[in-house]
Structure 1
Amino acid sequence: ALFYRIIKYTICLTIIRLLWLFGLTLCGPLRTTLLFEHSDVVILACFQVLFSSSMSGQQGHTARIRGVVFFALAVLAIFAFDNDDLRQRVDHPEGHAHHRFFAHIFYRLTSFVGVADHKGGVILLLFALFARCAMNSWSKKLVLDVGGPKKFYALTTCLSTVCLIPMSFIMMLINNLFLDPTDSARSNFQTTLPTTTVTASFFTNLTALIIPVLIISLFIFVLDFYVEQIAIVKLDRIRTYRFGTLAMIFASLVISFIWVQTVSAANSNAWLGRTVEVEEHVLSGGVVFAVVMFAFATDLLSSPIRQRSGAFIGYSQEGVPLFNLTHQRSQSLLLILKSSLRDILAESDSRQIFYFLCINLTFTFVELLYGAWTNSLGLLSDGFHMLFDCTALVVGLYAALMARWKPTRVFSYGYGRVEVLSGFVNGLFLVVVAFFVFYEAIGRLFEPPEINTNRLLIVSVAGFAVNMIGIFSFSHAHAHAHGGGGSCAMSHSAPAKDQNHGHSHDGHDHSHSHSHSHGHSHGEHDHGHSHGSNEKASHHGHSHSMRDNANMKGVFLHVLADTLGSVGVIISSLLIQFFGWNISDPICSLFISIMIFLSVLPLLKDSAMTLLLQTPSHIQYEILDRILKLDQVLSYSDEHFWNLTSSTVVGTIHIQIA
């Protein structure tokens, strides 16, 4: 009975490996790794989320739902948005040179369903993946009966090899009976060669076949298993599967960037004197998106479900330790979206960014769809450019939301500085954009290229109209920030520890003595330190509106840069269309890049000074004067003030009280 179970398992294992090899020939190594090399933990977690109701009340269930969504999006990206059909050949009626009998059968099946054969390879690999997971779950008791995973794997691998040897001879016989016309021509040409040449060619081909098979068998079927077993012993099983899968995914992506696989048709046409190189299984945007989605899905689905744990908060009066059993539960994606939308619409800045983002995205997708429909590369390029610009709006929107988060124990000052960081990042991005536009314009200034103005003027006018909506939307907040300089109702007296001093505020010189009138009546203050007094540390917060909102200014400058770009394209298009001045395009680009760079410099300077904790000299003396006016305050020392955000100043100071 045990031998029968082992034979049955071996047959299933052999079929799965054949499906994997056939899927590898259809989809290439990168896509095969992304689709097949997933741990059983991830796949079983997907099926638990989809078909099991026992996990609905557990913590982390919502996170696993997100993992299943990411996994499905990754598979959909490879299946629907991956252009892996570049290996077109003319010697086969369906566009592919299938020289094998089973390849013809598979093509007939996929064409009957209505999908391409490389997409059929995606389905084949997914089927092999699910079958492998089911077989591994079914064989757990069988592994124990045999005597452990190492002995079981060695036995089943040897039996699978024994099964594959006669199958390989059968496939060779079938392929010889159903030769492709190209293969038959090569066979007829071989029969005219001398016997010694054919024999040498046979042994050369045999050697070229055996060595790769031995290397592949060593690395895929031997080293892979034993390295995994060692890692499981050193680490736990979940961490091994998790980090192993992530390492395989990103390593495959890096290798695909470095090694562009080129398949030569010389193997089939060398005897005919022809060599045709066809680039196959190239990297695409759908594959890169799938890599990111698979990484997120693996991380979420392989994370262990956390149990409820308490945080120690102290002891009761009886000496019993007390724990806080509250824990942060995952929220559903729908609730998160509803809550985020409510927060976005609750405040003016985020609401304006959100409305313009919706308008911009709508125009972007309309442009992309129309460009794909008319096969216009210019429209598609401009659509992707606008889609890339929308990332700045998303960053600004998220920063506006984070700035309203409540302070926590870790971030005790709150999250208001995120707006400053967002403005600084958007400013750096605009500097990079201005630099590349300037660099490209300099190159085109000496050799102006021919520009096709078809549909360019219409797209530019439409983009200008959309950007003008953003200009009017954000100019109010921008002008309000510039003109919102609040004047303090107190005198600008500097309470220094000397008897007399002078300083300058906003261009007006003020000379102060101990007793004078400057809008307010000042009594004499004793600035001497009293050694018998208590010294306390005080924190002072002060709200001010003389500085810009860095986040809104960054968003405004992004919209302004797009508007200037649209204006430049409109002007250059008119000059090229009516006067043939191709040089107008780089000249307009030069002016636009310089204007973008000059307009973003103040934002970079202000946000950088805020991030570097610059002392706000324009209101520091007001704060110190108000502190000295407090009752029983004699003097101060060790004062430190900085801008937390563009509108909030915080500080620390030691004061001496009577």
Structure 2
Amino acid sequence: MAALKELRMRNNASVDIPDLPGTIHPFSSNDKSKLSFFRRELSEVLAEKQGKKILTFCFLNISVTTILLLWCNSTNSMALTAFTYLTMFDLMYLMTVLMSIWVHKQKSSEVYSFGYERFEVLAVFSSTILAMLGSFFIIKESVERMFIQPDIRTGRLLVGTVVGLCWHLVITYSIENKAFTHVVAASSSSWLQEHVSDISQSICHAVPGLSKLLLPRINPFALIGFAASFALIVVHVLIDMNNHYATDTWAAIWISMMTCGTMYPMAIFCGKILLQTTPSHLIGQLDKCLREASTLDGVLEFRNEHFWTLGFGSMCGSVHVRVRRDADEQLVLAHVSNRLSSIITLLTVHIFKDDWTRPSTFQILGDTSLLPRKPSPQGLVTRPSPEGTPVPASASYRPTINYVRSDAIPTVPAYSRSSAPPPAVLSPSFSHANNPVAMETKRDQSNGSIR
């Protein structure tokens, strides 16, 4: 009865509800939050002078592309459609510039501890892949036209070629795109550039005065624009002379193949960056630096070294250094960082003391909690230390160090001070508590003595 009475008193208890101003929304709208975030970031980008210029070029590019698509429909030309796809790539080229402006205004966060530089790489990679995908659609449509070739009207074919080429050259040479400029300079040449370079060398042998103009590697975007325009001019002439409508189909396939050949090396270069691979042109230099660092007294070997490109022009990496128990960790850290700082922008160095007599620490190097991370904006290394506390570091370049006493299973070191094999690990049953070398005992069966 007492419990029932207490329950009734609880039910009759009054609850004070505070007066809340405005309308109460029990569930927040994710769509509105995303839209507001996009508006806020776009306003920050457009606050820059270059951002307003790029946005103006984007609207003009959309207008030019729309006009060219209408002319493609009126002329029924597949070659002009393939050439119009270059102006669509110009739109993605401009969007990449806006992405670069936004990336450089962002700072590192807890979610993206290395910053937003990889967004820029992803934008270039997506642009090249979409350009290649559009070329595949053009090739598919051209193959279908080989069986039933429609008539081509050349009324606006030449006009569309001139308009498209002029706009493409304006975008290529008047807009500064640091991302694509770096990719063009760092990636390998396309097959179209190689053939044009061979032809230019032959011309320069006959006319040496043209070497300054023809010998430097031509911009691949300008080169594909000139090549596609030349193909369209040939199509216009052949159709006007002999009504060879099939030349339009073959010209469309040729323009699509040139587009794929131009975009492929840049897509491969960006894909390797996204896969966090070590740049091939830096492997020899990194090996030399590690060999020089391994000559320091106290350094036994380097393990788990991984160096990759974070963005365009910035590299980061981590390395595990096994040292002797009596080695100076600060000296090793300074020596290793001095050797690698000229190549690696963000470097994390883990120092491991050589303690091979403790079998309980054999697998500490395989612990994923010791993987390096970039310093957070507050100046703390977000890599967990053995005590679970963050290690302070500068927001600028400074190698980090992690003190862990460990001994991994002996393997042949990649960079060791001597070529001799590492010492064998004793089993715990053969180890002494205070002596790393176990005393071998043998009891005599006759008198029970130890020898």
TM-score range, shorter chain: 0.3 to 0.5
- Look at both structures and tell me which one has the larger radius of gyration over its CA atoms: 1
